[in-house]
Structure 1
Amino acid sequence: MVSRRKSMVAVQPVQFMPAVSSKGEERSAFCVALPGTGDVVKIESEDCSDFADLVAKSTISWVDYWAYDMAKDGREAVLALGFSEKIVNLLFDGRTQGYEDLDTELGLVLPAVNVEGLEVVVSPLLILIRRNVVVTVHGRAVTRLLKLRRYAETFMRKIPKHIPSTDKQTLVLVRIVDENNGRNFDHLREIEEQGDALSKHLMDPKTPRRTLGPKIYKMKHALITYLSTLWVSLDVLNTLRLGDAEQITDDPQLLARVGVLSDDVNRQIQLSEHMSEVLASGLEVLQSIYNNQLQVLNNRMALVMTYLTVLGTAVLVPNTLATIFSNPAFNMQPKDIGWYTVLLVVSTLASSYAAYWWTKKQGAMPKNSD
């Protein structure tokens, strides 16, 4: 949605200051500002206190701090930029969600998602707003705003100069939240790819259950964690789009942009819930496969036991006859070997057939092992 004051934009030359360290690495602290002169200024440093004068003279500025230690470095950076101890204590408590409105200051905590295999890691992204400045603070694991740093001066010079400061702050906030949501949404594709790989294992009936169980649990846990972060983001956006906070605009057009972000999150929630349903269906299929495998195994065991019964009977009858005729009372002689052999063979065949016929008649003989 286009701002109602876009016609007032004046393109000004951009003033560049050193943006990277001597080693070519991104520095921890970054600031892009639009001073009263209209020239966009972009600075990178290791200390947020270096930006204090520039922020004080600017009509709007964005400061991004990439903290090694959120509890220590992050707090010091925010305090150096003029925020109160009260809002700092409310936000820097390790949580990954939050909304604190102190009228002159506004603090948000949004979840930043990273996916490592089937592990979903949620880190806090802190956004603090007061008159003419928006500050973002996050840990080193959150790199999503580095891209926004590179285009910050282009974005900043497109902000109309003569609109209220709350409108400018809202424009910057919307851009930051949109960037964070976009990167969170990208990670859903990674979870989908992991789910596709898991589906291949589910299709193979020979896949060991001991390997599938943990993978299915991790996939389900990843989806639950991801859905939780989306609901948190949606809750914050729904609060913002009402425009009740003093540091947020009451311009309906700008608030509509926040509504668009909220709609995007809703769509992602629907996709995630659909994936959860697909996973549940996969679990049912897996259970059916295992039940079929167990039934086939039972049938094969029953068939083996039946034939063993027949063979046992075939051996038992001639063995019994041999035991009987070995008694001295029968006085068996070598000349009796002919009829004795015929008797053993006939008794073996007859007993085998009788055992097979009786087993089949009783319905104990499986027709097919599968």
Structure 2
Amino acid sequence: MSPTPGKLEVPQVYNDTWRGWPVRPHRQQHPIRGSFLDPRPDAERGAVYHEGVDVAVRDDRPERGAPPGRTHRVFAIEGGPVSFATPRGRRGSVRIGHFGYGHIDPVVFAGEIVTPGQHIGWTWEGGWHVHLSEFVLTTGAPIVVNPLRPGGKLHPFVDRSAPEIQEIRFHAPATPDWARRPKTSVARLPHEGERLSRDRLFGRVDVRVRVSDPQTLVGWFQELPWLAAPHHPFRLAVTIRQLQTGRVVRRREVFRAEQMLGLPAGRHFAPGTEQNLPANGCMALHRSVRCDGIYWLRLFPLRYWDTTRLSDGRYRVVVRAWDVAGNLATAEAAVTIANGV
């Protein structure tokens, strides 16, 4: 059996046992607006994956003592040497231990030894977040992993809202180029590929599911609910069962969002996908523009579903989606394969 895309097979070994959040209060959950694997625009490839999570802060309520143009203190969630830090006074980033902190003004220097919970920088006004990335360090290239996955350092994390599977569709295969949402600079994969009747599927079929992970409103997002964008689902699986016999003819785990995927964003995401607006754009435009993104995902991203491998007849496609807290959503669709063989 081939490995599940995005499943982390290498253990993470932290420098210490500290757990919490990189902004105050450390022992209280903070809202996350940009989730791991979200689509992000890229000049060369059209779109790439978001390599971390965006821990939100309120730019409209800066902390006491914040310098001009800065809003909130950022703290290390793991101790260790500072392996990289951009110069002070610039919007930049810091790498400490297994973690990176982006879109911040650092107050530490490369080579400095940092303790967990130590102040390491300031969030930058206009960003509304600190970007937190995590890496498993190996003898080869570091593995980019999801900081919010179970067993990680971000704690506590509670989510009581299950994912939502809005629709399952069947299309002729199509691979459009990434574009941009109208009046924005965020990524959009345009609709393409003839929609097929589920009562007459044949040949190779691109099975697409629209699914998202709405979050239980946390903290100050309750006061600015338009910022509470749904997350990319954590795990997705599909089972196909022949109705006449009840036999399972196909079962696969589509992906897990534990580590970076090894396939292009245009194969993982299906046409119709749209990135959510960044927080500053959402604050300015939420009365006239939809802030939430749209996640359409391919259940068979590489070679599509080859229906010619099955006998003609009736089948049931069952889709399951999980969030990082383990909440489960299920949806299904009855289909007819009609290849004439």
Same fold (TM over 0.5): no
TM-score by length of 1: 0.27
More RCO (CA 8 Å, sep 6+): 2
Higher share in strand? 2
Instruction: Report the structure number with the largest CA radius of gyration.
Output: 1
Give me the TM-score of the superposition, normalised by structure 2.
0.28
Greater helix share, structure number: 1
